[in-house]
Amino acid sequence: MKKNADTLVRLGSAALMALFLLPSFAAAQDYDDPPSRVARLSYMQGYVSFSPAGTQDWVDAFVNRPLTTGDALWSDSRSRVALHIGSASIHLSEYTGISFLNLTDNAVQIQVNSGTLRIRVKRLRDYENFEIDTPNLAFTIVSPGIYKINVSQDGYTTIIEDRRGDGEVTGGGLAYDVHSGDVGRFTGTDQLRADMGYLGDDEDDFERWSEQRDHHEDISISARYVSDEAIGYDDLDDNGGWRPVPNYGMVWFPHTATIGWAPYHYGHWAYVAPWGYTWVDDAAWGFAPFHYGRWIAVDGTWGWVPCAPRPPGGGGVYLSPVYAPALVAWIGGPHFGVGLAVGGVGVGWFPLGPREVYVPSYPVSRNYVTNVNVSNTTVNTTVVNNYYTNVVINKTVNITNVTYVNQRVPGAVVATSQQAFSSGQPVAHNAVQINASEVASAPVNAMTPPAVPQVQAVTGGRPAAKAKPPAAVLARPVVAKTAPPPPPPSFTQRQAAIQSNGGRPLSVAQVRQIAPARTQTAAAPQVRVAPPATKVVTPPRNTEAGKQNQPQNQNYPNRPGTAAGPVPNNGNKPASQPSPQPAANINQPHPPTAHPANEQLEQQHQQQLADLHKQQDLERQQVEDQQKKEAQQLQQQKAEAAKQQQAQQQALQQQKADAVKQQQVLQQQKAEAAKQQQAEQQLQQQHQQQLQAMQQKHQQQQAQLQAKQEEEHRQQQPAAKPKPEPKEKEKEPPH
């Protein structure tokens, strides 16, 4: 097993803490365990396409899709993309193509065929290798910092801008150190020529956009309550509010405009290896609350109980949250598939609550099951071990001796057809009617039902991409310092193996036994491992390099989006909305302004924004409380009407001879029932209108505050500093 001292967990007792500090728990990842992290497609603008691992298909990309080894992205003309891996952010400019050669707990290896990539690394794990491979060099990030990599259109030149941190360039048998403030232009493939300079003060639109997104993460209020390694935590600020809840601490409540909203209802099931079926939510904020933590219902309103934040000041014990494909339990039992769905076969699930154990359906070790639970909720390790023994080892299908708190919450359980489940179709558009009383008493299956995925589950059911990378870019080989793992098998091969495995996900060992298909059209990424390198003394800096090395806009003719005219701005929403959007991300697509020079003004703005969020959340609580009161009154009226109907029916039984009177009473009952139904519909419509009006009001308030703050920024903007006198150009040593 691999050792990782970073796997510590916050516990409530010294005895449990000592247990977790045992060497057996220090194993972060068995060789056959899946990674504890993924990359998230957090934001996209313009034409962005996606090619899942094991396929040659390029489809329109969509936010919240988890990305891992073998997945590829392309950002076309006037397009931008934001990704996150733990606390690290990756931004793509236009005409940029990347793929993940490797993504594990200890390795991030990204292939960049062309375009501009900006990476911000907040921290590096012990023994972590963070490597960017381009057509002529491999760039290794040595320390946390901000780095920009630009690959020319022909792949002959790579420009490295080191805005903060330290890195190393390897290629052509040579290795160069790159430090904060350096900008290097590296040309050639077999022989690498370095032209080093100093980074100038000029910033392009892409850099300013990236700084704005960085700033939004840095000032996030949610970071106080949830780990910054829980991907998507910064999306929570503008889409909900934090409230203290007894026994659970601070809980996040989403601001939705959908009556009866519940988690894991609006989205689809994608098949992402090696985890298998993975929930992809439609909401712009819908990543962290669906892959970390747990959900609870508080007085009829759903709230998210987060995974623990990093201790302030670096003290205390801490365990990085382990990503899970979906933290749900499944409806099981002998009636599942027939009795559950009215009129058809269905697959049903509901969100797990705090202290409830998540059991993966993909093959994992006991350590993995422990980590994925204790890093996301407060749970006794003995309970976790019992689940592993009973469900994973002893193959117990249905769990009958555990009470799941959310199983009996009205509206928590949702079901869809097996066809919609295995083909990535929107759940909200393919939900099936369920028997509520039977669901409340049905046994629970902790593991995902076995089902062979269709190709649509891998592509998300998206249409063919409007723009994809040119064939020459796709075929371009890259240089790697670290040899990446073999490419994933094709989806056809994996699908056949899953079929033979009874519809269950494959283990890492099983995947290794599948020989990758080597064809002309489905070849593995072309990677040239760099030969042993000789360290080169850093060449003299060229004072003009900062200007000369500014990347130029690349242009691929005859491609969508190159003509003049508006480009669709998808913000944080899928290209085509498959189901109702529970909430809008009012922060996107324009993040807050970048960090200003006036710190006092910035603190004032942060406090204003926090006060506005608090005021809005309080107003929402008041509206929700009023709506609950009105709904309760309506339920009481319905109960009284039902009681009266029962009394009338008893009276009718005594007066069976009076057929005319009986018919009149029945008609009156129908009229009363219709009246009550109409009143309920009108009340729901009124509540919907109230929430939508309030949502618009809050958006206007935040827009006004942002405009005011930006005006104050402009008034406080300091005068431009004079540029330093260029240094005398040093003589370049011979190579």
Confidence grade of residue 22 (pLDDT, cut at 50, 70, 90): very low
Confidence grade of residue 31 (pLDDT, cut at 50, 70, 90): low
Taking the C-alpha atoms of residue 331 and residue 349, their distance in angstroms, rounded to an integer, is 6
- pTM of this structure: 0.78
- The answer, yes or no, to whether residue 530 has pLDDT greater than 60, is yes
Nearest to 69 by CA among 46, 103, 96, 35: 103
Confidence grade of residue 526 (pLDDT, cut at 50, 70, 90): confident
User: Token pair 């708190």 is at which residue?
Assistant: 405
Q: How far apart are the first and last CA of the chain?
A: 44
**Whole-number Cα distances in Å, 363 to 98, 323, 366:** 29, 15, 10
Tell me the two tokens of residue 99. 């793929």
Per-range mean pLDDT, top range of 21-30, 107-116, 621-630:
107-116
Q: Which residues contact 27 (CB under 8 A, 6 or more apart)?
A: 1, 2, 3, 4, 7, 367
Taking the C-alpha atoms of residue 553 and residue 636, their distance in angstroms, rounded to an integer, is 66
Tell me the two tokens of residue 445. 């299956």
| CA of residue 628 relative to chain centroid, distance | 32
Q: Where are the alpha helices (DSSP H) in 490-537?
A: 491-500, 508-512
Lowest-confidence range among 222-226, 291-295, 485-489, 585-589?
Answer: 585-589
User: Token pair 């001292």 is at which residue?
Assistant: 5
pLDDT tens digits, one per residue of 166-221: 999 999 999 999 999 999 999 998 889 999 999 888 789 999 999 999 999 999 99
Which amino acid is located at 161 in the chain? Answer: E
Average pLDDT over residues 408-427: 93
| SS3 assignment, position 157 | strand
CB count in 10 Å sphere of residue 695: 18
- Cα four-point dihedral sign 19, 20, 26, 28: positive
Which amino acid is located at 505 in the chain? Answer: P
User: What are the residues facing 81 on neighbouring strands?
Assistant: 44, 92
Tell me the two tokens of residue 160. 């490295």
The more confidently predicted of residues 493 and 578 is 493
Specify the pairing of strand 478-480 against strand 527-529. Answer: parallel
- Cα four-point dihedral sign 57, 61, 65, 66: positive
pLDDT tens digits, one per residue of 94-132: 999 999 999 999 999 999 999 999 999 999 988 899 999
The more confidently predicted of residues 671 and 12 is 671
Total residues found in the chain within this entry: 735
Average pLDDT over residues 365-387: 91
State the chain's mean pLDDT as an integer.
Answer: 82
